[in-house]
Structure 1
Amino acid sequence: MTPALDPAFLRAPLAHRALHDVDDGRPENSRAAIRAAIAQGYGIEIDVQLSADDQAMVFHDYDLARLAHGTGPVRSVPAGTLGGITLRGGDEGVPTLDEVLDIVAGQVPLLIEIKDQDGGMGVNIGPLEAATAAALAGYAGPVALMSFNPHSVARMADLCPDLPRGLVTSAYDPANWPLPEATCARLRDIPNFDRVGASFISHEAADLSRPRVAALKAAGAHILCWTIRSPEAEAEARRIAENVTFEGYLAAQPG
């Protein structure tokens, strides 16, 4: 049985990598950005990467350099060390998923993207999924899981069968992806939706008019989208998508 997506994910807009604004000391995926989103009543989208000691860390990139005062792959650094590496634009280190779950504590819906660890959307996955499942054990509150990698979503179906899951989907233009054209072509058609027991997709906003998206919606799938950066883009996306993941402005709350 496919777990249903909590209706909370279709109400408040989802703050992309939490409500981040480095000009206000709130880097992407930081505790400060998490708290700001909660204070505004937004849902939250975060990313998880794996530490050297197999802990789920809330961080978007594979490498530290863009977002933190460190260098090298996140996966090469233990969780304790990552916690002491300050995020650029803030005064705090990289948080663990456990720490973020303690902050959110069910107050708002939390959408967790599991970053591809295979490097090619393949089968070389497992430790990050296991770490994410371990952190979520006993968590009370609306939470959903998603990944670009269908194998990751299938693994979460085994590890957390009661939690709703979805696929992050895209036009997969080969010019924008470090993947073979054949892989892009296969993933573009969203062939794994039923196989992984998904209840939603989060689709690239510029590609929402794709017929496959319409077909999934007609079959009962929930359609979210990424990433919206203006009220005008949000209005356009909402012609198809039921909710948006946004950044760079304050999305309107439901009345």
Structure 2
Amino acid sequence: MSLPHAFYDRPLAHRALHDVRDGRPENSRAAIRAAIAAGYGIEIDVQLSADGAAMVFHDYSLDRLTGAKGPIRLCRADELAQIHLTGGEEGVPTLPEVLDLVAGRVPLVIEIKDQDGDMGPAIGPLEEATAAALRGYEGDVAVMSFNPHAVARMAELAPDVPRGLVTSAYRYDEWPLSKTTCDRLRDIPDYDRVGASFISHEVDDLTRARVSELKALGAMICCWTVRTVEEEKIARQIADNITFEAYRAALTA
């Protein structure tokens, strides 16, 4: 399943166009509205609630992004709706709420956070909740994950939704994973198996030979996370598009 061209044309606002100084926390409705108004594509994350809902939230713990404590997956969706995101005036949104808000106005990429702990096969409920939310959605949307098992599961649950792998240099000191897992994922061996059409690769590792190989074979190359104009110029020598934050990327379309 190939990506619509809009995913090449519009830079993707990382966790939406967030800036807590302006009341727009990461993955918040306010940040999503700001990205839409600016004409950017949007990248968001989903985590699982205690009652099986796909929640638009990056971290596994509530601590950094809210005034609450503990794992997000121990709270129900209705409880999370009442927990305010730090720097804003709203609770944690569900994926269906965000899809209704975006409503096809800009391209949307959904990152499914690994639920296994070591990028393994102990996944399923979050993918099922994500696929259920996407049924009937008519805008440009794609899904991706660091965990190839999650992407393979989405191929089964939502075969018409384009999918990709989030990829990395997998430096041992930066990942809470086994060295065996890092060594395996670093070479992006699952691209064909999961039916991916793109990767979103770590920005300072774009010169990796495997990235060039995939691009030559027709993969769309995006990258994470660009934070300056200068970094963007370098990244775009290889990447077809960027995920950005902390500045306003130039719109080319």
TM-score between both structures, scaled by the size of structure 1: 0.99
User: Is 2:192 the counterpart of 1:194?
Assistant: yes
Structure 1 unaligned runs (5+)? none
**2:221 is aligned with what amino acid?**
I
Mapping of residues 230-245 of structure 1, within 5 Å: 230-245=228-243
Counterparts in 2 of 1:83-232, with a 5 A limit? 83-232=81-230
Question: 2:52 aligned to 45, 51, 54, which one?
Answer: 54
- For the residues of structure 1 that align with 2:66 and 2:27, how far apart are their CA atoms? 11
Determine which of 72, 75, 86 is the counterpart of 1:74: 72
2:111 partner letter: E
Question: What residue ranges of structure 2 are gaps of 5+ in the alignment?
Answer: none
- What does residue 246 of structure 2 align with? 248
Q: Deviations over 1:67-87 (max 9, x none)?
A: 012111000000000000000
**For residue 33 of structure 1, what is the aligned residue in structure 2?**
31
Give the TM-score of the pair, scaled to structure 2: 1.00
The secondary structure found in structure 2 opposite 1:167 is strand
Paired AA for residue 147 in structure 2:
N
- 1:168-188 CA-to-partner distances (Å, cap 9, x unmatched) read 000000100000111100000
Query: By how many angstroms is 1:249 displaced?
Result: 0.3
**Separation in 1 of the partners of 2:96 and 2:218?**
33
User: What letter corresponds to residue 84 of structure 1 in structure 2?
Assistant: Q
Alpha-carbon offset, residue 101 of structure 1 = 0.3
Runs ≥4 in structure 1, deviation > 6 angstroms?
none
